[in-house]
């Protein structure tokens, strides 16, 4: 293997170490806050009560708390030990997103996405919190990577990986169900290559929907009910501005539009511009549709 081929793996290894350091350096700088204390409480309730949350309307799945229960039994309940569980999954996202970016586009795209994830204020924040918000993106990345490999190669184990990762994500957080329509959209953006994989795609979709019909029956009544969340309400525009500002400027950027303008301009430029001329195979048909679906 020549130096050029070693450069990107070495760089991703370095980014992974940087991500680890950025999250580990102040992991126990603050005491546990309310949600983290709740996570510990949910992880240590009797098994019968924990398993009952599988069918409790409005609750996230119990998988994260089941895993945290085992982790706490091994490492204890200090701030550093419990938050390290989230840190590990957050750091794992760096090589995962590189692998996905490389598979979908090229090494340069994989490196750029890994760099953005390494320096993301949001993922650094959640990598230091006893919550499921790093396990969830790790599973989502695995699911999309498995789907892409399944469409490319058609092997049953990639379809299995996609179904298992998506299913686990659904039992980590209720909103992971949005992964299913997103994967359907991605499947069609990979047309006509995906055309020959329709049997695997239909079987995958059946595995991802049929077992959850009872859960939908339990959760559906909540869609028609109003209930207090404990948080102030925001308009869609306020949500977008807050998310873009916080993503680009950090939590202190709230209220200032410059981060939203910067990120929005870069996104528009990236979507409108043609793919760059890079060494290697030519760009695939439908690559712009693929970028739109991922955005």
Does 162 share its domain with 269? Answer: no
Say what the pLDDT of residue 92 is: 97
Q: What are phi and psi of 136, to 5 degrees?
A: -65, -50
Number of structural domains (the chain) is 2
In terms of residue numbers, what domain contains 193? 3-212
Is residue 57 located within the same domain as residue 21? yes
Both 144 and 251 in one domain: the answer is: no
Q: Is the same domain home to 151 and 260?
A: no
The two three-digit tokens of residue 236, written as one number: 């869609």
269 and 135 in a common domain: no
Please report where in the chains the tokens 């859960």 appear, as a residue. 215
User: How high is the mean pLDDT in each 10-residue block of the chain (295 residues)?
Assistant: 71 94 91 92 87 68 91 94 96 96 90 91 90 96 96 92 93 88 92 86 88 65 64 80 69 56 70 53 52 50
Q: Is residue 222 part of a domain?
A: no
Using CA atoms, how far residue 234 sits from 134, 159, 253, in Å, is 24, 39, 17
- What is the pLDDT at residue 145? 96
The whole model's pTM is what? 0.80
Q: Examine residue 223 and state whether it is found in any structural domain, yes or no.
A: no
Per-residue pLDDT at 4: 59
**Are residues 142 and 246 both part of a single domain?**
no
- 101 shares its domain with 151: yes
User: What was the pLDDT predicted at 122?
Assistant: 83
> For residues 204 and 260, what is the distance between their CA atoms, to the nearest angstrom?
37
198 located within any domain: yes
pLDDT given for residue 278 in this prediction: 38
């Amino acid at each position: 293997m020549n130096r050029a081929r070693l450069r990107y793996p070495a760089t991703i290894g370095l980014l992974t170490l940087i991500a680890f350091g950025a999250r580990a350096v102040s992991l126990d700088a603050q005491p546990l806050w309310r949600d983290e204390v709740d996570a510990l409480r949910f992880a240590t309730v009797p098994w019968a009560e924990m398993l009952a949350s599988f069918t409790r309307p409005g609750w996230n799945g119990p998988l994260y708390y089941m895993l945290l229960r085992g982790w706490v039994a091994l490492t204890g309940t200090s701030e550093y030990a419990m938050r390290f569980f989230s840190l590990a999954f957050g750091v794992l996202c760096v090589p995962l997103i590189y692998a996905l970016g490389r598979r979908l586009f090229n090494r340069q795209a994989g490196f750029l996405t890994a760099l953005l994830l390494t320096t993301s204020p949001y993922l650094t924040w959640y990598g230091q919190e006893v919550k499921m918000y790093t396990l969830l993106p790790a599973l989502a990345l695995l699911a999309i990577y498995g789907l892409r490999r399944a469409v490319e190669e058609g092997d049953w184990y990639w379809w299995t990986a996609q179904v298992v990762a998506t299913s686990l994500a659904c039992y980590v957080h209720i909103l992971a169900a949005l992964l299913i329509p997103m994967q359907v959209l991605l499947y069609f953006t990979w047309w006509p290559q995906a055309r020959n994989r329709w049997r695997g795609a239909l079987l995958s979709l059946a595995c991802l929907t049929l077992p959850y019909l009872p859960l939908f029956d339990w959760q559906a009544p909540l869609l028609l009910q109003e209930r207090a969340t404990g948080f102030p309400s925001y308009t869609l525009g306020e949500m977008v501005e807050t998310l873009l500002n916080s993503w680009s400027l950090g939590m202190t950027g709230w209220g200032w539009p410059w981060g939203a303008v910067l990120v929005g301009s870069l996104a528009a430029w990236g979507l409108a511009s043609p793919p760059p001329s890079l060494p290697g195979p030519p760009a695939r048909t439908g690559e712009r549709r693929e970028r739109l679906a991922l955005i």
